[in-house]
A and B are shown apart, each in its own frame.
Chain A
Amino acid sequence: MIAYTLRRLLGAIPTLFVIVTLAFFMMRAAPGGPFDTQRKLTPEVERNIKAAYDLDKPLVQQYLIYLGKVAHGDLGPSYKNKDFTVVQLIGTGLPVSARLGLCAMALALLLGTALGAAAALKQNRWEDYSVMALAMLGITIPTFVTAPILTLLLGIYTGWLPVGGWNGGALANMVLPVAVLALPQTAIVARLMRGSMIEVLRANYIRTARAKGLPTHRIVLGHALRAAALPLVSYLGPALAAVLTGSLIVENIFGLPGIGRYFVQGALNRDYTLVLGVVICYAALIIFLNFLTDIAYGLLDPRVRMS
């Protein structure tokens, strides 16, 4: 177990290295630079700015300097958000994004498992069909369509919820973004859950439990649900990546101060360090959470061997 953990953590280093390298050189290959303005700068000013940020050195040298800094946990200063370092910006943005993502994941898992299990118990009846039709809707309609339409209905026409903004993470401000973010994941979880639940309900031990006269709710809660939820654990990794991607859109639409928004702005403004910082942060997060998922899977399912 410890050996496995160590090997996985060591394995993450080359992956992160590849990500940093790819992102660094791709970003630099983009036309334009962080200090391009409408007005042409005088050559002296431009030279001074570039020297201050090491941008006058050869690209490979810049890359090595950057790698050295990253290894020490320093992601450099943001070129566009003056007076802020990238670490500071991520420090303010990450809690917002994390809170949004975790709430959406929790909602999707709870609601998805419940809906999927209910559909499986009522297989091929109207309850099943309506849940599956809803799930199809949730999967096919993209976040950037549901977000404005829900805002239109719940924010503008009825005025029940605020249309955007973070407001320090107030509950009313969280409802719409979290709902929009959770919707597609809820749909996928419900579909997965229905499938595995139907399979589990046919198993011999469920028949045994029925034969010895256990009431349905105890069969479902005590036996079927746990076994059926197991495949969901391996979906957690992809789900998380999807939520992170979705948060790019949601943060932009609702004007939330998360790191997804910094990323899009940074990419448009050629804020090299900010973009790289966010990529590193997201990549590390995804790798770490995938690792946690694998560990959890191994702990929950004794048939899986860590190797």
Chain B
Amino acid sequence: MIATGQTLKSSKGEIKGRSLWVDARHRLMRNRAAVASMIVLGLVAGLAILAPLLSPFAYDEVNYDIIACAPGWWPVQAACTAPGHIFGTDAVGRDLFERVLFGARVSLAVGLVATLVSLIIGVLYGAIAGYAGGRLDGLMMRIVDVLYSLPFIFFVIILMVMFDRNFILLFVAIGAVEWLTMARIVRGQTLSIKQKEFIEAARAAGVGPMGIILRHVIPNVVGPVMVYVTLTVPGVILTESFLSFLGLGIQEPLTSWGVLISDGADQMETAPWMLLFPALFMAVTLFCFNFIGDGLRDALDPKDR
């Protein structure tokens, strides 16, 4: 454990204070599970970005000669094998490796964009409510309470139907649903921050309320928000896959892990690789996000250790 009050001597001999962030980074880097998760996640993201370069096949290239064929190295005897395809092929002979990586692109993109949407709405809403206080705060939080008690997955499903499975709106719809907890966390933090002297100083210097919120309140809630963001991303990826699994999400020929898992579940008796590879990629990614989130929380919240 590193005491926060300590100072580091730099090479020139002057005394340098250690910020909370430096301390937190040290603690995070010593958390082996979190570091390993970051490396694995980086690999998955790298594979997803480089996807078209990694295989001679295109993700939507149909080949009716090799329908649902096992990869060449598959240990169990299968009806047919397709040696060139390292993850085998799907029900219309498309290369599963490319499809899993394109699914990763979609799933990660949905995760990041929807989280960004929820971040913007949640942080602004929470900061405004917390800073304003009084009746406005009461009203805004009351709205959050009411929204909290809605069965949200139903609304996401209805939203998807409403937007007719539009890809971009899927991001927005999920993000628009995930901001509630973020707003609560930020409001709680804001309530304590607004009592601090530097806020009073800013007010005395003539900074307007919006200026104080944007310049002074929000930068100080970054810690808890960051932790929650790393936990929101896997939540969003799950929601998207859930919708795609039910046939309400991404449409052919585009794909996502949810679609692939759903297709794989249909074919699992004859072609289990169609289920196993996307499921594996998805599980590993979700694992990594959770470990990073746990690591960040431990690193940023010293009293919790």
A148 at the B interface (CB under 8 A): yes
B158 pairs with A26, CB closer than 8 A: yes
Q: Is the interface of A mostly helix, strand, loop or mixed?
A: helix
CA distance A278 to B154 in the complex (A): 9
CB-based contact B264/A144 at 8 Å: no
Binds B, one of A15-23, A78-86, A101-109, A208-216: A15-23
Residues of chain B lying within 8 A (CB to CB) of residue A156:
268-269
Q: Give A151 to B265 CA distance when docked, in angstroms.
A: 9
Among B248, B262, B265, chain A packs the most CB atoms within 10 A around the CB of: B265
The reply to whether B245 and A244 contact each other, CB–CB distance below 8 Å, is: no
A15-B146, A140-B283, A144-B245 known; A286 and B265 CB under 8 Å?
no
Alpha-carbon distance A249/B272, docked complex (angstroms): 20
Is A91 an interface residue, CB under 8 A from the partner? no
| Residue from A15, A149, A249 in contact with B149 in the complex, judged by beta carbons closer than 8 Å | A15
Cβ of B238: which chain A residues have Cβ within 8 Å of it?
142
Q: How large is the interface on B (under 10, 10 to 19, 20 to 34, 35 or more residues)?
A: 35 or more
> A155 → chain B, closest Cβ, in Å?
10
A144 and B158 contacting across the interface, CB-CB below 8 Å? no
A244 to B152, CA, bound (A): 11
Interface of B is mostly: helix
Residues of B within 8 A of A244 (CB): 151
The reply to whether B258 and A287 contact each other, CB–CB distance below 8 Å, is: no
| Interface residue ranges of B262-305 to A (CB < 8 Å) | 262, 264-265, 268-269, 272, 275, 279, 282-283, 286-287, 290
Q: Which A residues touch B247, using CB under 8 A? A: 268
Which one, B153, B155, B158, contacts A30 given CB within 8 A? B158
Known: A30-B164, A148-B268. A142 touches B149 (CB 8 A): no
Q: Mark A111-150, 1 if CB is under 8 A from B, else 0.
A: 0000000000000000000000000100111101101110
Residues of A within 8 A of B (CB): 14-15, 18-19, 22-23, 26-27, 29-32, 136, 139-142, 144-145, 147-149, 151-152, 156, 241, 244-245, 248-249, 252-253, 263-264, 267-268, 270, 275, 278-279, 282-283, 286-287, 290
Shortest Cβ-Cβ A-B pairs, 4 listed: A148-B265, A140-B286, A30-B162, A30-B161
Given contact pairs A145-B279, A278-B154, A282-B154, a sample of 13 additional A-B residue pairs in the complex whose CB atoms are under 8 Å apart: A140-B234, A144-B265, A148-B261, A156-B269, A245-B151, A245-B153, A263-B154, A263-B157, A264-B248, A282-B151, A283-B149, A283-B150, A286-B151
